[in-house]
Amino acid sequence: MSRSSFSAVALAVAWRALHNAVTRPALILPSIIFPLFFLVAFAGGLSRVGDVPGFDFPGGYTAFVFVWIVLQSCAFTGAFMGFNIAADFESGFSRRLLLAAADRRGILAGYVITGLVRSTFTALLLFVAALVSGMRLEGSLLDLLGLLALGWLANVVGTLFALGVALRMRSVQAGPLLQTPIFLLMFLAPVWVPLDLLSGFVGAVAGFNPITFAVEAGRSLIAGSATGLPLGYGLLALMALVLTGWALTGLRRAEAAG
Amino acid sequence: MSSALSTQVGFLIRRSMLRTLRQPAAVIPSITFPLILFGINAGGLAAAAQIPGFPADSYLDFIFAFPFIQGALFGATMAGGDLARDIETGFLNRLSLTPVSRVALLAGLMGGVVGLALLQGLVFVTVGVLAGVQFAAGVGGVAVMLVLMALTALGFGGLGAWLAVRTGSGEAVQGAFPLFFVAIFLSSVNLPRELIAVDWFRAVATWNPVSYLIEGMRSLVITGWDPTALALAFAVAAALVVLGLTAAAAGMRTRLGRT
């Protein structure tokens, strides 16, 4: 297969999915509203948690929770891509697409591109909302771009995971399977306080959760004192690599199922 | 209640309970999901107990009311979803051709909601005690907490049923779930209202009735017998029950009138 057939399929799938998102806002609203709600609930309702002894994040509590919310929104935007492909299977569109596509891997790439565009939009919206609600920025523009790049990686991880599930299940009833693992992975990280202030099983699990390192890298960027970046980016990249195999084998399963 | 009515209610409660118990994919999340979030909150926000003025020694005790409220919400969406499915499949239409009364239909459905709430509550109490939650109000406090949860589930269940009869769509009932969820988070669930620093958020939490349900349940764990908190909680729960059941009964009358 030529490179042009791969990119032609990818761009066509991405164009269709983005067009659907624009023309049917109900499809994308949850992935926008929920992060905004988290920002309101955490930055508004929990800001006094920043007064806990040992909590000394330079950018303030809003900036502290903002990083997690950006990564969470990007990962969940990826998860929602699974709903798209599952719905396409239920309507019969995906089967026709599998027949028509010259290079079927392009289908996966198309959904990944869509996820990246949508997550960028949500992240920018969140950024504006956080600034309006008083977030202090200590990092530079480059640091912010670094945070966005972490979000993109989280989005690719979420998308590839969801595609793997959706291609195997081929039904929107796979919804809980698409969301729950990502939900747990995100919440079993230092969401509201730094890692050393966590306790119980969350504290025990968070130390081994790759998302923890991504969140900490992101927080160091927004605080203007970048640390732990190789681990943060590296672990997400490794997850993306593993999940590429998961999504590709899912595609093979869908092809075999006809 | 006449014997015919009580027989109808009994059959419909049994059907509602059996249908719920035969859907492990729905029952298990309604118990595990609130417990998972309880664990995540308790571990993730444990440090909040060190904020000056925090009313409990342990955040575990403080947040223990959360699964009760969230569990009640799950029951509500299940009740609404089940009723919507009855409408979608035509079961309600067929039932309306029989002599079964509207009251029995609603009571049967709500009996299932309350039964599920009590099952959830017992599991939550067991897990809480095993995790180290201590009830300041003792065993009596546990019983009152379960009653409050059952009333809350009944109220939310009424609203779920109202949505179901109004829309006739399970999807619409499920779609309303996030709104209820938002109501929980915009309350004093994570921190006491006095410790919410952002003015508008504190105002929303003060106006939000869910805050009083949570504070009533929480008082039984961290304070003991607090008449004010309990009176407010029972008043809100009772208002929710009246509102939910009245709306559901009116909606049911309209829906059956169309049949």
Query: Which pLDDT tens digit goes with each residue over B47-67?
Result: 999 998 999 989 999 999 999
**Cα dihedral sign for A50, A55, A60, A65?**
negative
Q: Give the highest mean pLDDT range of A99-113, B71-85, B127-141.
A: B127-141
> What pLDDT score does B55 carry?
92
Write down the mean pLDDT value for chain B.
87
A131 versus A258: which is more confidently predicted?
Answer: A131
Give the nearest partner residue to A201 out of B43, B45, B190, using CB atoms. B43
Q: Does residue A16 register a pLDDT over 70? A: yes
Q: At what angle do helices A105-132 and A141-169 cross, to 10 degrees?
A: 140
CB contact under 8 A, B50 and A201: no
CB contact under 8 A, B39 and A30: no
Give the nearest partner residue to B43 out of A49, A55, A202, using CB atoms. A202
CB contact under 8 A, B47 and A193: yes
> What pLDDT score does B88 carry?
79
CA distance A193 to chain B (A): 7
CB contact under 8 A, B45 and A51: no
> What pLDDT score does A1 carry?
52
CB contact under 8 A, B43 and A40: no
- At B186, is the secondary structure helix, strand, or coil? coil
State how far the Cα of B135 lies from the Cα of A87, in Å rounded to an integer. 47
The token pair at A25 is: 């806002």
Give the nearest partner residue to B186 out of A41, A52, A193, using CB atoms. A41
Ordered DSSP codes for A125-153 = HHHHHHHHTT----S-HHHHHHHHHHHHH
Q: Are A152 and A74 in contact (CB under 8 A)?
A: yes
CA distance B130 to chain A (A): 13
Q: How does residue B26 score in pLDDT terms, banded at 50, 70 and 90?
A: low
Q: How does residue A239 score in pLDDT terms, banded at 50, 70 and 90?
A: very high
State how far the Cα of A81 lies from the Cα of A86, in Å rounded to an integer. 9
Residue type, A190: P
For A203, nearest residue in chain B (alpha carbons)? B43
Query: Which pLDDT tens digit goes with each residue over B105-151?
Result: 788 888 888 888 999 999 999 999 999 999 999 999 999 999 999 99
Q: Does residue A84 register a pLDDT over 70? A: yes
Residues of chain A with Cβ-Cβ distance to B205 below 8 Å are 45
Residue B45 contacts A, CB cutoff 8 Å: yes
Q: How does residue A73 score in pLDDT terms, banded at 50, 70 and 90?
A: very high
Q: Does residue A257 register a pLDDT over 70? A: yes
- At A209, is the secondary structure helix, strand, or coil? coil
CB contact under 8 A, A30 and B178: yes
Most B CBs within 10 A among A29, A32, A135, A202, hence the mutation to make, goes to A202
CB contact under 8 A, A184 and B42: no
Query: Which pLDDT tens digit goes with each residue over A156-171?
Result: 999 999 999 999 988 7
Q: Does residue A20 register a pLDDT over 80? A: yes
> What pLDDT score does A90 carry?
81
> What pLDDT score does B195 carry?
93
Tokens 């523009």 belong to A141
User: Average pLDDT, stretch B66-95?
Assistant: 83
Q: How does residue B74 score in pLDDT terms, banded at 50, 70 and 90?
A: confident
Residues of chain A in Cβ contact (below 8 Å) with chain B? 30, 33-34, 37, 40-41, 43-49, 51-55, 176, 184, 187-188, 190-193, 197-203
CB contact under 8 A, A45 and B178: no
pTM, full prediction: 0.85
CB contact under 8 A, A53 and B50: yes
CA distance A99 to chain B (A): 32
CB contact under 8 A, B46 and A199: yes
CA distance A246 to chain B (A): 25
Dihedrals φ, ψ of B53, to 5°? 90, 0
CB contact under 8 A, A202 and B39: yes
Q: How does residue A133 score in pLDDT terms, banded at 50, 70 and 90?
A: confident
> What pLDDT score does A255 carry?
86
Q: How does residue B258 score in pLDDT terms, banded at 50, 70 and 90?
A: low
Give the nearest partner residue to A45 out of B43, B51, B196, using CB atoms. B196
For B175, nearest residue in chain A (alpha carbons)? A30
Measured CA distances, B112 to A75, B144, B157, B175 (Å): 37, 20, 10, 21
Residues of chain A with Cβ-Cβ distance to B46 below 8 Å are 197-200
- At B53, is the secondary structure helix, strand, or coil? coil
For A52, nearest residue in chain B (alpha carbons)? B51
Q: Where are the domains of chain B?
A: 3-258
Residues of chain A with Cβ-Cβ distance to B182 below 8 Å are 37
Express as a percent the part of chain A with pLDDT over 70. 98
Instruction: Give the number of A-B residue pairs with CB atoms closer than 8 Å.
Output: 88
CB contact under 8 A, A191 and B191: no
Residue B36 contacts A, CB cutoff 8 Å: yes
Ordered DSSP codes for A187-202 = HTS-SSS-GGG--HHH
Q: Give the highest mean pLDDT range of A16-25, A199-208, A226-235, B93-102.
A: A226-235
Q: Does residue A127 register a pLDDT over 90? A: yes
Q: How does residue A2 score in pLDDT terms, banded at 50, 70 and 90?
A: low
Q: How does residue B94 score in pLDDT terms, banded at 50, 70 and 90?
A: confident
Write down the mean pLDDT value for chain A.
90
